[in-house]
Chains A and B, each alone.
Chain A
Amino acid sequence: MSEIAVNELVRHGGLDGLADDWSADKQTYHVPWGKAMMWIFLVSDTFIFTCFLTSYLHVRLTTTEPWPVQSEIFALSFGGGDPIPLILIAIMTFILISSSGTMALAVNFGYRGDKVKTFWLMCATAAFGASFVSMQVFEWSKLILEEGVRPWGNPYGAPQFGAVFFMITGFHGAHVTVGVIYLLWVAFRVKRGYYDEKGYEIVEIAGLYWHFVDLVWVFIFAFFYLL
């Protein structure tokens, strides 16, 4: 039966390849179920963060009081020197982006079947993530305890500033925390050899989620801290 063998036809690139994929039987994408599902979830999650960020931009335009100057609020001074604007946020961003590098290496070693290196690289990624979250905890506690920023008001200007800050960084921080737990869970299963039969795509699937959380941070950094 010629039409059964649609999948076995010669693979094309570009638009022809796209047409081949979508007119194939059995499966549209040549990826495991979990990976397809993670991609679809991430697109859906993108809509959540997009709604958060556009809502933030909207309330920033409609609020009646001036928006606080972020570079002054998010500044730290070391050893009594002048405060450096956004230094903590810069470090956090650097750490999170570095964690994407270790994650990419873990995916690479996962496919090579090097369980030990994969395990340690995933642990390193999780450690970067955990340090990101703990710096966020430091930032939150400094704003809440020392500077009196609350969700319903703050000493600097528009009350929506605090509301947006806690909501968006909190939602993103929750994503990072979930990611750390997910990475560790997968890492220990990798170490135990749980995926020897199923294959190591799971490392890449976890990596997709991690890179997404990382990418979202770049947008939060740009829109909330820099703009």
Chain B
Amino acid sequence: MSYVPLADQAQELHHPQSWVTRYVWSQDHKVIAIQYGGTAILVGIVALVLSLLMRMQLGFPESFDLIDPSSYYQAVTMHGMIMVIYLLTALFLGGFGNYLIPLMCGARDMVFPFLNMLSYWVYLLSVLILMASFFVPGGPTGGGWTLYPPQVSMAGTPGSDWGIVLMLLSLAVFIVAFTMGGLNYVTTILQARCRGLTMMRLPLTVWGIFIATILGLFAFPALLVAAIMMLLDTLLGTSFFMPAIIESGSPLDYNGGSPILFQHLFWFFGHPEVYIVALPAFGLVSDVLSTHARKNIFGYRMMVWAIIAIGGLSFVVWAHHMYVSGMNPYFGFFFATTTLIIAVPTALKVYNWVLTLWEGDIRMNVPMYFAIGFIFTFIHGGLTGLFLGNVVIDMPLSDTYFVVAHFHMVMGVSPVLVLFAALYHWYPLVSGRMYHEGLAKAHFWFTFLGTYAIYLPMHYLGFLGVPRRYYALGSTDFIPASAQDLNAAITIAALIVGAAQLLFFINIFWSLKHGKKAGSNPWGSASLEWQTPDTPPIHGNWGDELPTVYRWPYDYSVPGAHADFIPQNTPESEEPTADEQHFDPDHDPSMADL
């Protein structure tokens, strides 16, 4: 049988028969996206509360009985793991990936909707396994989010009997879920685009999610293998990662394992993971900036190649997390070099975002606030990354608050600001209503200024030599007493920022009922997801006929056009284009005046 492309054939869709198949066991990518997003945000709230508990302990060490040294480490571990994997990865790829890929590609759904549904339910299972570890004897693991052996499974570490097993199991299940979703995302982007939609006409959002998903499919295997080997170490007594070791005066039954092997496997996953989170954020923020600046993204092709280059380089930098691990020092030279090279495409992206704003017709809508805020925090976090990429600077700073400040700026706050930009930007599409402007702006200012109030002082604490992961500072010779005052100030800022997130939730739920009707394309966006016949898009997305794309998604303020944006599915016979892919001065009406 000869193969007929999607655009020319009727896709078999699973049509919901009842409320349950429509909203619970749904195979519609939009419902799955909301399920993914809702679950990720719920579990993210748990991680947020854990971080506030830690801050209260650090800021006012004598005042609270909420947390003891063990539960402090458990909070550190669970906060980190939940935020990086179960919130950011799941929300960017499972949430935004699911919602936007088929809409931006002009498809009716993902290529295998059933597998997509399964992906969500397996993800939910992994979340439940992780949450169960709060209720088992000994509680969740307290080995730090990097789960380094041997200490993670030694008796002194909280959760070394049950917690670590549930954590590893949950990670393995998450990877299965991610693989099912990820295969769908990649195949949909490669194989199910609509007529006229070439790869170089895809919005940068899709490019970011595409490359991030490929990174995930190649990087998560290392974590899966590490998790399986550590499970065998913990449950069966093998010695993959465990060297001969003495615990409380008596030798354990392990010998000959290699703890550093775990670190290599973990960071072979862990560094691409940074970009699994960052690349979708890069893509989403590019589209938000371009739409609200009413200007095409600056250097679209360079942006695409930068995403691809960053994705490739992210696989050869992992050991810059391990300068102090005791690995061969010569490795440091190689990994410092590759790490600094990755700054080139990243800086290119930052320049292009700023140049997109330059001379734009900027509309200061709420998503734009968050997007510009992201440029600030990302430059800030990126520059400290250059410090830490160098071996000699990393050595003294490695286990201090400088590192905490760095990675929270670059891969905590920055992606979260993009998440908020994207949530506000696409809220009208998902719900059909506008959010409350005032609440959203208040939410932005609390979050953005609060970020600096929290993390700027941490850089200074790091230079003072304040070690991270400590339950309480105690008194030392080299740390001045004023460091504690700074810690208290950070805690107050963190509590305010934490409380300010309520504004977001109030806004989201209040606006569902009381928000202004959004109409079909409130931002005047040129990209395909806003051109559906119904807003919010209904099952099948496109009505009777799939769209045809004639241009890239960045035709804003094109000279000679009727409006300041031209939807992607407007034929070239009706409107001019600035699409550089089909730039032809002889036939381009916008060049006629020159």
Residue numbers of A with Cβ under 8 A of B are 1, 3-4, 6-7, 22-34, 36-37, 40-41, 43-45, 47-48, 50-52, 55, 58-59, 62-65, 151-152, 158-160, 162-163, 167, 171, 198-201
Q: Which of B190, B221, B253 contacts A48 (CB 8 A)?
A: B221
**Closest CB of chain A to B273's CB: distance in Å?**
14
Q: A58-B261, A59-B261 are in contact. Are A44 and B218 (CB under 8 A)?
A: yes
When the two chains form their complex, are residues A163 and B239 in contact, meaning their CB atoms are under 8 A apart? yes
A22-B199, A26-B5, A59-B258 known; A40-B183 Cβ under 8 A: yes
Q: Are B238 and A27 in contact (CB under 8 A)?
A: no
B255 and A64: CB pair below 8 A? yes
CB distance from A9 to the nearest CB of B (A): 12
Instruction: Say how far A24's CB is from chain B's closest CB, in angstroms.
Output: 7
Q: Tell whether, in the assembled complex, residue B229 and residue A26 are in contact, meaning their CB atoms are under 8 Å apart.
A: no
Within 8 A of A (CB), among B195-210: 195-201
Q: Which one of B6, B220, B571 contacts A27 once the chains associate, using CB atoms below 8 Å? A: B6
Say yes or no: A47 contacts B218, CB within 8 Å: yes
* A-side contacts of B237, CB under 8 Å: 151-152
Does B225 sit within 8 A of A, measured CB to CB? yes
User: From residue A40, how far is it (CB to closest CB) to chain B in Å?
Assistant: 5
Interface SS, A side? helix
Contacts of B268 in A (CB 8 A): 51
Least CB distance from A86 to B in Å reads 24
- Decide: A59 and B256 in contact? CB cutoff 8 A: yes
B224 in the interface, Cβ–Cβ < 8 Å?
yes
Nearest Cβ distance between residue B364 and chain A, in whole angstroms? Answer: 36
Q: Is B112 an interface residue (CB 8 A)?
A: yes
Residue of A nearest to B259 (CB): A62
Known: A51-B221, A151-B237. A59 touches B198 (CB 8 A): no
Cross-chain contact A33 with B187 (CB below 8 angstroms): yes
How far is it, in angstroms, between the C-alpha of A55 and the C-alpha of B260 when the chains are bound?
11
Contact among A4, A22, A51 with B548 in the assembled complex (CB-CB below 8 Å): A4
Which B residues touch A1, using CB under 8 A? 196, 548, 550, 571-572
Tell me whether B191 and A159 are in contact (CB under 8 A).
no
Known: A25-B201, A171-B228, A199-B1. 11 other contacts (CB 8 A): A25-B198, A28-B191, A31-B191, A33-B191, A37-B187, A44-B183, A47-B222, A48-B221, A63-B257, A167-B228, A201-B1
B165 an interface residue at 8 Å Cβ cutoff? no
A143 to B81 Cα, complex, angstroms: 39
Q: How far is the CA of A58 from the CA of B240 in the complex (A)?
A: 10
Tell whether, in the assembled complex, residue A152 and residue B236 are in contact, meaning their CB atoms are under 8 Å apart. Answer: yes
Contact of B256 among A55, A160, A199 (CB under 8 A): A160
Task: Decide: A3 near B582, CB < 8 A? Known: A26-B197, A36-B191.
Answer: yes
Q: Which residues of B contact A47 (CB under 8 A)?
A: 217-219, 221-222
Q: A25-B197, A51-B265, A62-B261 are in contact. Are A159 and B222 (CB under 8 A)?
A: no
Q: Is the CB of B3 within 8 A of A32?
A: yes
> CB-defined interface of B228-258 with A at 8 Å, one 1/0 digit per residue?
1100100011111000100000000101111
Selected from B111, B179, B198, the residue in CB contact (under 8 A) with A44 is B179
Assembled-state Cα–Cα distance A37/B114 (Å): 14
- The 10 A-B pairs at the shortest CB distance, nearest first, are namely A199-B1, A63-B256, A163-B238, A47-B221, A51-B225, A152-B237, A48-B221, A62-B258, A44-B217, A33-B111
Given the known interface contacts A43-B217, A158-B256, the answer about A7 and B5 at a Cβ–Cβ threshold of 8 Å is yes
**Also in contact, A59 and B240, with CB within 8 A (given A26-B6, A43-B217, A51-B225):** yes
Q: Is the CB of B192 within 8 A of A151?
A: no
A59→B257 contact, CB < 8 A: yes
For residue A56, which residue of chain B has the nearest CB?
A: B240
Structural contact, B190 and A55, CB atoms closer than 8 A: no
